[in-house]
């Protein structure tokens, strides 16, 4: 578990949680949560995208190759923005931007090439290559989860937070499909407080 700071994982799917590493998207000053490559590894461990042992290997490798690590971070950020654009288009029931869809498709294809079949107790399971020091390793399961969600019957459950300035994505698993907030304790409470003050101001 990362010890520097914790990320808020409210998306309900790995790819949505990565999309949410750009905070306050609907404001004039969005806030970058993946400030450096170490943040990316911290997020990956917390989100379950990469085991801590492999993150430790990549952390050392990144320390020795800082320029390569920065370039990898830039590519993962670009994939994150493509993720957001594609899902935001789906939410709005409009075509996804061609460039974003092409970038995401490329990431999914590269992730597919990194999958491997592993023998597990009682059977087999899909895993990931562990021998390559690929600095984009965190992105593989994210891209794979995006492909899975986009082609699943749950795509129509993906929502964008209604909180002012938020723009985070989440999977609405509520029974009546009426969830509006990425996190009721954050954006939901802010909206309730705002309505309260507006009501008081009208009295």
pLDDT in tens, 86-141: 999 999 999 999 999 999 999 999 999 999 999 988 899 999 987 668 999 999 99
Q: Is residue 133 part of a domain?
A: yes
Q: Is residue 99 part of a domain?
A: yes
pLDDT confidence of residue 187: 81
pLDDT confidence of residue 142: 98
Q: Is residue 4 part of a domain?
A: no
For the chain, how many structural domains are there in total? 1
Whether the pLDDT of residue 199 is over 90: the answer is: no
Closest CA to 61 of 132, 124, 128: 132
Element (H, E) at 141: helix 139-150
Total Cβ atoms within 10 A of residue 43 = 24
pLDDT level of residue 202 (50, 70, 90 thresholds)? very low
pLDDT confidence of residue 84: 98
Residue 84 lies in domain:
14-202
Q: Is residue 9 part of a domain?
A: no
More confident residue, 36 or 185: 36
CATH of the domain at 108: 1.10.3300.10
Q: Do the beta carbons of residue 97 and residue 132 sit within 8 Å? A: no
Burial group, residue 198, by CB count within 10 angstroms (0-12, 13-18, 19+): exposed
Q: Is residue 42 part of a domain?
A: yes
């Amino acid at each position: 578990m990362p010890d520097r700071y914790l990320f808020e994982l409210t998306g309900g799917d790995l790819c949505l949680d990565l999309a949410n590493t750009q905070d306050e998207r609907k404001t004039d000053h969005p806030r970058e949560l993946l400030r450096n490559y170490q943040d990316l590894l911290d997020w990956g461990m917390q989100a379950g995208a990469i085991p801590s042992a492999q993150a430790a290997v990549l952390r050392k490798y990144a320390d020795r190759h800082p320029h390569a690590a920065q370039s990898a971070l830039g590519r993962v950020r670009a994939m994150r923005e493509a993720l957001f654009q594609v899902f935001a288009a789906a939410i709005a029931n409009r075509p996804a931007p061609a460039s974003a869809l092409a970038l995401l498709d490329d990431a999914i294809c590269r992730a597919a090439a990194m999958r491997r079949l592993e023998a597990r107790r009682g059977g087999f399971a899909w895993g990931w290559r562990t021998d390559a020091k690929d600095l984009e390793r965190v992105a593989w399961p994210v891209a794979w989860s995006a492909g899975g969600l986009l082609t699943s019957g749950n795509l129509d459950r993906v929502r964008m937070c209604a909180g002012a300035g938020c723009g985070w994505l989440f999977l609405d698993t509520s029974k009546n499909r009426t969830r509006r907030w990425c996190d009721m304790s954050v954006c939901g409470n802010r909206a309730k407080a705002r309505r309260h003050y507006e009501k008081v101001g009208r009295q």
